[in-house]
Structure 1
Amino acid sequence: MSAATATKTAIPPSGGGLSRESHPLAGTGTLLRFNLRRDRVRLPVWIGALFLGTLSTLSSTVSQYPEAEDRRSAAGSLDSPAGLAMTGPGHYLDDYNYGSMLSHQMLGFMAVLVGLMSVLIVARHTRTEEETGRAELVRATVVGRHAHLTAALVTAALANLALGLLIAVGVGGQGTEGVNWGGSLLYGAVHTMAGLVFAAVAAITVQISQYARGASGMALAVIGVAYALRAAGDVGNGVLSWLSPIGWAQRTYPYVDDRWWPVLLGLALAAVATVVAYRLSTLRDVGGSLRATRLGSPVASAALTRPIGFALRLHRGMLAGFGAGLLLMGVMYGSILGDAEEMIEDVDELREAVEKIGGATIAESFASTVMIVIAVVAAVYVVMATLRPQSEETAGRAEPLLATGLSRTCWVASHLAVAMGGGVAILFLTGLGFGISGAVATGDGGLFLDLLIAPLAYAPALWVTAGITVTLFGWLPRITAVAWIVPVYAFLVGYLGQILDFPDWLNNLSPFGHVAKLPAEAMEWTPALILTALAAALVALGLAGFRRRDLETK
Structure 2
Amino acid sequence: MTTLAGTGPLVRFALRRDRLMIPLWISLVALTLITSPRTLKGIYSTPADRADLLATMRTNSSLRALYGPALSDSLGGLAVWRVGAWGALFAGAMSLLIVVRHTRDEEESGRQEMVSAAMVGRRAPLTAALLTALVANATVALLIAAGMTVTAGDGFAGALALGLATGGTGMVFATLAAIVAQFTESARLARGVSAGLLGAAFVLRAAGDAGTADASSPLTWASPIGWLENVRAYAGERWWVLLLFVAAVAAQGAVAYALTGRRDVGMSFLPSRPGPAAGRLGSAGALAWRLQRGAVIGWSLSFLASGAALGGVTAGATDLVGDNQATRRMIERMGGQSGLTDAFLSAMVGLLGMVAALYVVQSVLRMHGEETSGRAEPVLTGAVGRVRWASGHLVIAFAGAVLIMLLGGLGLAAGYGHGLGPILGACLVQLPAIWTLGGLAVLLYGATPRAAMAAWGVAGAVLLLGWLGPALKVPQSVMDLSPFGHLPKLPGGGMAWSPVVLLTVVAVGCVGAGVAGVRRRDTAG
Common fold by TM > 0.5 = yes
Within-5 A mapping of 1:148-547: 148-174=125-151, 176-177=152-153, 179-236=154-211, 238-301=217-280, 304-355=281-332, 362-439=340-417, 445=418, 447-547=419-519
Q: For 1:493 and 1:173, locate their aligned partners in 2 and report how far apart those are by CA, in whole Å.
A: 22
**Mean Cα deviation higher: 277-286 or 535-544:** 277-286
Q: Distance in 2 between matches of 1:150 and 1:388?
A: 27
Paired with 1:186 and 1:476, the residues of 2 have a C-alpha distance of 44
- The answer on whether the counterparts of 1:416 and 1:466 sit within 8 Å (CA) in structure 2 is no
Q: Indicate yes or no: 2:45 matched with 1:66.
A: yes
| CA displacement at 1:173 relative to structure 2 | 4.2
Do the aligned residues in 2 keep the contact of 1:490 with 1:513 (CA within 8 Å)?
no
Rounded Cα–Cα distance in structure 1 between residues aligned with 2:455 and 2:371: 18
| Distance in 2, Cα, partners of 1:75 & 1:115 | 28
Partner AA of 1:326 in structure 2: F
What displacement does 1:347 show? 4.6
Structure 1 residues 185, 501: CA separation in 2 closer, same or farther (over 3 Å shift)?
closer
Structure 2 residue 110 is matched with structure 1 residue 133: yes
Deviates more, 1:115-124 or 1:400-409: 400-409
More displaced 10-residue stretch of structure 1: 503-512 or 453-462: 503-512
How far 1:106 moved relative to its partner?
A: 2.1
3-state DSSP of counterpart to 2:355: helix
The amino acid of 2:66's aligned partner reads: M
Larger radius of gyration: 1
Following the alignment from structure 2 to structure 1, what is the Cα–Cα distance between the partners of residues 361 and 332? Answer: 32
- For the residues of structure 1 that align with 2:41 and 2:331, how far apart are their CA atoms? 21
CA distances 1:170-228 after superposition (whole Å, capped 9, x unpaired): 32245x44x21222221211122111101111101111111112111111111111111
Q: Measure the CA separation in 2 of the matches of 1:496 and 1:488.
A: 12
Q: Indicate if the aligned counterparts of 2:177 and 2:194 stay in contact, CA closer than 8 A.
A: yes
Residues 499, 193 of structure 1: alpha-carbon distance in 2 compared, 3 angstrom cutoff: closer
CA contact 1:369–1:495 (8 Å) conserved in 2? no
Shift of 1:358: 6.7
1:392–1:498 Cα change, 3 Å: same
Look up the SS of the partner of 1:151 in the other structure. helix
Please give the per-residue CA displacement for 1:397-421, whole angstroms capped at 9, x wherever unaligned. 1111111221112211211111000
For residue 26 of structure 2, what is the aligned residue in structure 1? Answer: 47
On the 8 A contact 1:435/1:450 being kept in 2, the answer is: no
Q: Is the deviation greater in 54-63 or in 117-126?
A: 54-63
Partner of 1:231, secondary structure, is: helix
Structure 1: tracts of 5 or more residues without a match: 1-19, 440-444
Q: What secondary structure does 1:516 align onto?
A: coil
Task: State the alpha-carbon separation in 1 of the partners of residues 315 and 25 from structure 2.
Answer: 36
Letter in 1 for 2:345: A
**RMSD, matched Cα:** 2.0
Distance 2:246 2:402 in 1: 41
376-385 or 428-437, which moves further after superposition?
428-437
- Aligned partner letter, 1:57: S
Structure 2 residue matching 1:305: 3-state secondary structure: coil
CA distance in 1, matches of 2:147, 2:485: 32
Q: Distance in 2 between matches of 1:51 and 1:497?
A: 15
Deviation of 1:355 (Å): 4.2
531 and 358 in structure 1: CA distance in 2 versus 1, 3 angstrom threshold: closer
Q: How far is 1:451 from its partner?
A: 2.1
Percentage of identical aligned residues: 39
1:54/1:307 CA distance change after superposition, 3 Å: same
Shift in alpha-carbon separation, 1:183–1:370, aligned structure 2, 3 A: same
In 2, distance between residues paired with 1:387 and 1:327? 24
Is residue 338–residue 438 contact of structure 1 (8 Å, CA) maintained in 2? Answer: yes
- Note closer, same or farther for the CA distance 1:478–1:372 as it changes in structure 2 (3 Å cut): same
Distance in 2 separating the partners of 1:535 and 1:171:
40
Cα offset, 1:337, TM superposition:
2.1
Q: CA deviation at 1:491?
A: 3.1
Closer/same/farther in 2, CA of residues 415 and 469 from structure 1, 3 Å limit: same
- Give the distance between the partners of 1:245 and 1:258, measured in 2 at CA: 17
CA distance in 1, matches of 2:248, 2:82: 25
Opposite residue 414 of structure 1, the aligned amino acid is G
Partners in 2 of 1:491 and 1:520 — Cα distance? 23
Give 1:493 deviation, angstroms: 3.9
Structure 1 residue identity aligned to 2:375? R
Q: What TM-score comes out, normalization by structure 2 length?
A: 0.94
Count of paired positions: 519
Q: If the length of structure 1 is used for normalisation, what is the TM-score?
A: 0.89
Question: Where do 5+ consecutive residues of structure 2 fail to align?
Answer: none
**Match in the other structure for 1:11:** none
User: How far 1:296 sits from its partner (Å)?
Assistant: 1.4
Taking the aligned partners of 1:28 and 1:384, their CA distance within structure 2 comes to 30
